[in-house]
Structure 1
């Protein structure tokens, strides 16, 4: 869980930026955690304004 507390993500202009840990294992684990919502994030960056409440399980 320590890696999650240091995770950083941002949007700059029309780019999604996701910082991953330096170790291959840590990078893989963190990318697996965010992968399911990357497509949705890209849709929002492209201007999709549809309601997305409840779209993803928590």
Structure 2
């Protein structure tokens, strides 16, 4: 995040609001998700692949 130019960075107030909102999302914490990047109009969320959280996909037969 530090390599962004000032134009690509969200304001400190916006960053704080996004982080506060994210912190209130219990499911995100349960899944181990974290905010990786906050930019104007864009938030990147990362989550490690954890056994038991992958979605089962079954082909129709």
Question: Do they fold alike, i.e. is TM over 0.5?
Answer: no
- Scaled by the length of structure 2, the TM-score of the pair is 0.32
- Scaled by the length of structure 1, the TM-score of the pair is 0.33
